[in-house]
Amino acid sequence: MAINIAIDGPAGAGKSSIAKHVSKELGYIYVDTGALYRTVGLYSIRKGIDTKDAQAVTATLKDIEVKLGFVDGAQHVFLNGEDVSDAIRTPEASMGASNVSAIPAVRTFLFDLQRDIAKNNNCIMDGRDIGTVVLPDAQIKLFLTASPEARAERRYKELIEKGEKVDFQDVLDDINKRDYQDSHREIAPLKQAEDAVLVDNSGCNLEEGVALVIGIIKEKLN
Ligand code: DC
């Protein structure tokens, strides 16, 4: 049986950076489920559709094929055959993803894809509802968090390094808004699963965060 590790938590908590390192060390694949919601959001944005308009977004789903591919262990996401792995990483796509993720039909649309990967592969899957909804039977569940300021600082640095012109306060406002939306939506809201280990990595750099998470996982796997 495949071993599944679920990592949930709010935006910018370090889930993907930490999970990428940990998955390499364990030889598991890393699945970033946020990329799937971002891809659905990107399609609407490109079509000029309001990502909060549930009816209009739902109507686009029949025209969308979302696929995940893994190149040297790194996840790539494809929208109707186009590799959109970079295009989904803008602040606009982040907000669009949070908006479409509150639409039940979008969650249903992406559910099987996530479940199928986990069924067939040892994986670390990160998102908002992995331990609670997508993989309730995952052998290990972590809820990774950090203070809003620490998370905004990391996102800000990432965006600046990519050459984007952003303001720190805007990044912090976006993080707070997304946290609120993601944890207050009716369907599959962001919340810690009862059997998840809470990991706060506010004061940690990446190396320390990775060590902390690997320590917990190894202890649980033994
Ligand atoms: O992890 P991320 O920042 O790339 O996620 C983008 C948005 O997608 C996030 O604001 C909420 C949504 N999301 C979700 O609802 N469920 C998931 N499993 C993953 C992401």
Distance 100 CA to ligand 1 centre (A): 9
Residue 108: strand, helix, or coil: helix
Q: Counting atoms of ligand 1 from 1, which one is nearest the CA of 95?
A: 10
DSSP assignment letter at 132 = I
Residue 70 is predicted with a pLDDT of: 87
Distance 203 CA to ligand 1 centre (A): 23
Residue 54 is predicted with a pLDDT of: 98
Distance 99 CA to ligand 1 centre (A): 9
Distance 98 CA to ligand 1 centre (A): 6
Residue 168 burial class via C-beta count within 10 angstroms: exposed 0-12, middle 13-18, buried 19 and up: middle
Q: Is the CB–ligand 1 distance for residue 182 below 6 Å? A: yes
Residue 164 is predicted with a pLDDT of: 87
pTM beyond 0.85, yes or no: yes
* Identity of the amino acid at 219: E
Segments of the chain assigned E as strands? 4-8, 29-32, 66-71, 74-79, 82-83, 123-127, 140-145, 197-200
Provide the residue-wise pLDDT of the chain in tens; the chain has 222 residues: 899 999 999 988 999 999 999 999 999 999 999 999 999 999 999 999 999 999 999 999 999 999 999 887 789 999 999 999 999 999 899 999 999 999 999 999 999 999 999 999 999 999 999 999 999 999 999 999 999 999 999 999 988 998 989 999 999 999 999 999 999 999 999 999 999 999 999 989 999 999 999 999 999 988
How many helices and strands (H and E) does the chain possess?
8, 8
Mutate to test the pocket of ligand 1, among 37, 100, 159 (most ligand atoms within 8 A of CB): 37
Residue 222 is predicted with a pLDDT of: 81
Residue 73 is predicted with a pLDDT of: 75
Q: Is the CB–ligand 1 distance for residue 97 below 6 Å? A: yes
Q: Counting atoms of ligand 1 from 1, which one is nearest the CA of 102?
A: 15
Pairing relationship of beta strands 4-8 and 140-145 according to DSSP bridges: parallel
User: CA geometry: angle at 187 spanning 144 and 46, to 5°?
Assistant: 90
Q: Is the CB–ligand 1 distance for residue 101 below 6 Å? A: yes
Q: Supply the residue whose CA is at minimum distance from atom 3 of ligand 1.
A: 11
Q: Is the CB–ligand 1 distance for residue 127 below 6 Å? A: yes
Residue 74 is predicted with a pLDDT of: 85
Distance CA 180, CA 184 (A): 6
